[in-house]
């Protein structure tokens, strides 16, 4: 029996590739050698491939459920956590990996480890405050039912404010609420200050003050919200017909182009347009109910409605002003 074997002097990754050896080197026709790093010619050194490693999963999935359950890595990095989601957590399960119930001594030991692990999560007081602020941002976003992308933007904005030392001397809850409001404004999402301030744990004045600081110091790309952008939100809660919604959007655009409602609360303008559209389409909406949903007073709604009526009268009688 011969003692000479291919694995006596080389590794299994260094076995020459049969397919490439039969073809030979395209430059000199020499023997092509494949190892764990690259595929190269032994004579002239021409490198044909430098990444032959398969980076795919090492398991096979036979259905969609099995493919979703099997994962090779943890969750991706996220700006919503102070450590970008890289830290580990000790759970509260009362059983081990085999399903056996833990003894009382073992549970006490794990409880002590969990307590020390919780204490060692933050390397400084600033990092602990950052974790508290990001959790407050997540709470407000969840209460407002905002999308996940906007949650990440708000957390990144809060992180930037903390890095620029804008939280010093201000409430963490106020800056967190202001970050959510600023993210909504930058993304063009129609959310009023009142909605965010209702979910905040501090007063309205502190939230508005923190928003002004973020907008001024960070030079945020905020734009004023248009009047018609608040119409879909109001009409969806009132469950009016699509024709009324389209008419309200047209009225809001007409009122904005006239310049009469410049400087007015856009939500009140949208509420006045929805009320006028409901009257035109025979839908019974009270001013009080509409004002409650728009979070404005009935006086504001009537004032915007009267402005809209004056614009409609002028458009229907273009020579009225000249005759007067």
pLDDT tens per residue across span 3-55: 444 444 444 444 444 344 446 788 787 888 777 667 888 888 888 877 655 66
Residues 229, 296: Cα–Cα separation, whole Å: 16
Q: Which alpha helices (DSSP H) does the chain contain, by range? A: 6-9, 18-23, 64-69, 104-119, 125-144, 148-163, 172-187, 193-199, 204-217, 231-238, 242-258, 266-280, 287-294, 298-316, 320-323
pLDDT digits (tens, 9 = 90+) for 173-211: 999 999 999 998 888 787 877 788 888 888 888 888 999
Q: Are the C-beta atoms of residues 273 and 227 closer than 8 Å to each other? A: yes
Residues 115, 124: Cα–Cα separation, whole Å: 17
pLDDT digits (tens, 9 = 90+) for 59-107: 677 777 777 776 666 667 888 888 888 777 788 888 887 888 888 899 9
- How far CA 42 is from CA of 28, 160, 292, in Å, comes to 10, 54, 81
Q: Are the C-beta atoms of residues 40 and 32 closer than 8 Å to each other? A: yes
What's the distance, Cα to Cα, between the start and end of the chain in Å? 119
- What pLDDT does residue 14 have? 44
- Which residue from 146, 143, 154 is spatially nearest to 178, judged by alpha carbons? 154
Q: Average per-residue pLDDT in the chain?
A: 80
- What pLDDT does residue 173 have? 92
Report residue 252's pLDDT band, with 50, 70 and 90 as the boundaries: confident
Residues 143, 209: Cα–Cα separation, whole Å: 22
Q: Are the C-beta atoms of residues 30 and 24 closer than 8 Å to each other? A: yes
Q: Are the C-beta atoms of residues 32 and 49 closer than 8 Å to each other? A: no
């Amino acid at each position: 029996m011969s003692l000479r074997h291919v694995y006596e002097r080389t590794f299994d990754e260094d076995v020459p590739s049969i397919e490439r050896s039969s073809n030979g080197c395209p430059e000199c026709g020499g023997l092509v050698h494949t190892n764990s790093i690259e595929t190269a010619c032994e004579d002239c050194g021409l490198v044909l491939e430098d990444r032959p490693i398969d980076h795919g999963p090492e398991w096979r999935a036979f259905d969609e459920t099995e493919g979703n359950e099997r994962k090779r890595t943890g969750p991706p990095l996220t700006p919503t956590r102070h450590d970008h989601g890289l830290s580990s957590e000790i759970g509260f399960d009362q059983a081990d990996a085999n399903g056996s119930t833990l003894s009382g001594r073992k549970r006490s030991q794990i409880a002590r480890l969990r307590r020390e692990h919780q204490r060692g999560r933050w390397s400084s007081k600033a990092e602990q405050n950052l974790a508290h602020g990001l959790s407050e941002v997540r709470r407000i976003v969840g209460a407002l039912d905002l999308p996940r992308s906007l949650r990440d933007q708000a957390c990144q904005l809060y992180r930037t404010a903390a890095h620029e030392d804008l939280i010093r001397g201000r409430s963490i809850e106020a800056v967190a609420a202001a970050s959510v409001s600023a993210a909504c404004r930058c993304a063009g999402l129609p959310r009023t200050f009142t909605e965010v301030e209702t979910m905040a744990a501090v007063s309205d004045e502190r939230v508005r003050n923190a928003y002004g600081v973020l907008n001024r110091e960070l030079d945020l790309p905020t734009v004023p919200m248009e009047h018609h952008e608040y119409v879909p939100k109001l009409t969806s809660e009132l469950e009016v017909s699509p024709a009324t919604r389209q008419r309200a959007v047209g009225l809001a655009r007409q009122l904005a182009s006239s310049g009469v409602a410049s400087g007015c609360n856009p939500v009140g303008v949208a509420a006045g347009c929805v009320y006028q559209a409901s009257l035109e389409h025979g839908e019974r909406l009270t001013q009080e109910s509409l004002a409650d949903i728009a979070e404005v007073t009935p006086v504001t709604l009537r004032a915007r409605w009267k402005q809209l009526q004056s614009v409609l009268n002028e458009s229907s009688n273009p020579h009225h002003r000249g005759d007067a």
